[in-house]
Structure 1
Amino acid sequence: MELRQVQYFIAVSEELHFGRAAERLHIGQPAVSQQVRRLERELGVELFDRSGRAVTLTPSGKALLPEGRALLKALDALTVKAERLAAQDESTFRVGISSALGRRLDDFLDALPASGAGTRFEFQTLDAPTRLAQVRSGRLDAAFVRGVESAPGLHLLTLWHDPLVVALPAAHPLAARGRLDLAELAGLPLRLASREANPVLFDTVTAACRKAGFEPTLGPPFAGLQNTLAEIGAGGAGWTLVYPAAAETVSSRRIALLPLLGEPIAVRMFLAIPENAAPKRLELLEATGAEVRRKVAEEKRKSSHD
């Protein structure tokens, strides 16, 4: 038995005329007659009495009519609920983030255009490889990620560039400067994540040091940002670089945070999304990314005039 057969049965029972039922259903009358006959054979009963000039329901047809209507009503309820769930799923955005986004996450949310006003976000804090893997698998719709330049199967939408801030012991003579020339750090050991752990950051920083005229001397192994800052603050010789959002969370008076003179050392922040993302969603994210970039550029211009 097919649902369309039940739909045809209900239409004929309400119209009591195969031609009018066919017009109501926007199909040919022979198709209606054929499918109702097939339904009768499958049920083993006659649903309509066709012997007279008018079509009438048989006792079996009258008895089965409430069940047929209930079946179609359940189908309508199923369809409405499925559409509602689909709309809810479309407006829910599952995003992987790092713990060092800070106010930039607010900037991103503020930049959503009016068309994204109903979007509901669910955030998960994960390491970068896991974020990318879960976007590929469909468990996440997008992920904020830096430290990559390509990600097979994903589209990387540039959001902003993070200018890195120097962190060094507050007791060091250089800490009294308002800004540092990178070359002034040539004699201090650099505490940085290994190239294996973060190739883009490692290559970006070492290239900037070489451009400044020195080969960086790598200090003790990087022990994570918080541990490394604690060791530097406790008197360990060296310096490291901190993302701006992470710098806002550093409260130790033993650590000095200083921007660099001249061209900053910057790492791009991307939003990784599937290459086959829905066009409407891609359009929304591209518009958001453009607004974030505009806002960050405006902040940069203002700070340069201050």
Structure 2
Amino acid sequence: MELRQLRYFVTVAEELHFGKAAERLAIVQPAVSQQVARLERELGLRLLDRTSRRVTLTGDGERMLREARAVLAAADRATEVAAELAAGQAGVFRIGSSAGLRERLDRGLSALRAAAPGIEIKVSSRPPAEQIEAVRTGELDVAFVRGPVAAGGVRAVPLWEEPLSVLLPAAFRDDGGVKLADLAELPLRLPPRPEDPALTDRLLLACREAGFEPVAGRPVDTFEDAVVEMTNGSPAWMVVYGNACDTADGALWMGPFAPPMTVTGQLVVRDAPAPPCLDVLVQAFS
């Protein structure tokens, strides 16, 4: 099945006349008839009833007309997206990202490449404040950050709510969800605030609302190093992005909070001009 066949079928269905459809498409009538007949053979459906006097849609044809219009609209939009992106960004789209967003990026970039197959995509990872500044100055086209965004020259579009999970000694495991108050005596390990202010601010506020000031543990240099240290006798708790694991093996356990905790993920763009096809980006990365 080709887009050309769908376009011919839609035109005939709208005109209910092969001759008029051919005139509208600026091709000869036999070509229209052949392609529509070929589409019917490939689908195994009769889409049109033809007599010497008139052409009408069958029940299958009416259903197929709706679907064909949707497919053609998507194809036309993809062409527009590709043209806008290429014209607006000289074929390069620059994205700022944060740790833990690989799955979302993979899914969104696949959708973006489908819409604009010729575009070159460059992804850079840096602290949120640097991403926001890079968007403001035009060094980046968009950025994905977690938490509130308060900066001039940019605007943030909320896209998703990201769950937070707790990683802690297995003795504190609670499959129903860990209560923050139960962690008041255990050191909290966080990355340096400039690297992830959304996580730091969210956790400190939640602990204070739970009635305690958390015990400050050593800053987290890398997640892997902190896990090794905690596994080998440095009790503490950390917070990680994403859904909790279902199983618990060894010295550590990862699970949900009770009540659940989340942070908002946002797409940061320049105030003006906005990047081409902002609606496509929002849909792709939501």
Shorter-chain TM-score range = 0.5 to 0.7
Q: Deviations over 1:220-254 (max 9, x none)?
A: 33333332222112211110101118x78xx9844
> In the alignment, which residue of structure 2 is the partner of 1:220?
218
- SS of corresponding position for 2:277: helix
**TM-score of the superposed pair, with normalisation by structure 2:** 0.59
- Cα distance in 2 between the residues matched to 1:199 and 1:221: 13
- SS of corresponding position for 1:219: coil
> In the alignment, which residue of structure 2 is the partner of 1:298?
none
> In the alignment, which residue of structure 2 is the partner of 1:140?
140
- Cα distance in 1 between the residues matched to 2:151 and 2:118: 29
Return the index of the structure with the highest Cα Rg: 1
Q: How far 1:287 sits from its partner (Å)?
A: 4.0
- Cα distance in 2 between the residues matched to 1:235 and 1:209: 24
* Residues 110 and 179 of structure 1: CA distance in aligned 2, closer, same or farther (over 3 Å): farther
User: Which runs of no fewer than 5 residues in structure 1 stay unpaired?
Assistant: 1-82, 293-306
Q: Output aligned runs, 1:183-194, within 5 Å.
A: 183-194=181-192
> In the alignment, which residue of structure 1 is the partner of 2:279?
283
> In the alignment, which residue of structure 2 is the partner of 1:16?
none
Q: Deviations over 1:193-240 (max 9, x none)?
A: 344554432221122122223332222333333322221122111101
How well do the aligned residues superpose, as a CA RMSD in angstroms?
3.4
* Residues 213 and 107 of structure 1: CA distance in aligned 2, closer, same or farther (over 3 Å): farther
Q: Output aligned runs, 1:1-306, within 5 Å.
A: 87=87, 89=89, 92-109=92-109, 120-170=120-170, 173-175=171-173, 177-195=175-193, 198-244=196-242, 253-262=250-259, 264-278=260-274, 280-288=276-284, 292=286
- Cα distance in 1 between the residues matched to 2:85 and 2:117: 18
Contact 1:113/1:287, CA 8 A, preserved across alignment = no
- Cα distance in 2 between the residues matched to 1:128 and 1:241: 18
- Cα distance in 1 between the residues matched to 2:266 and 2:141: 14
Contact 1:168/1:233, CA 8 A, preserved across alignment = no
- Cα distance in 1 between the residues matched to 2:130 and 2:95: 12
**TM-score of the superposed pair, with normalisation by structure 1:** 0.55
User: Which runs of no fewer than 5 residues in structure 2 stay unpaired?
Assistant: 1-82
- Cα distance in 2 between the residues matched to 1:124 and 1:195: 20
- Cα distance in 1 between the residues matched to 2:86 and 2:105: 26
The amino acid that maps onto 2:253 is A
Contact 1:116/1:284, CA 8 A, preserved across alignment = no
Farther-moved stretch of structure 1 (108-117 vs 177-186): 108-117
Count residues with an aligned counterpart. 202
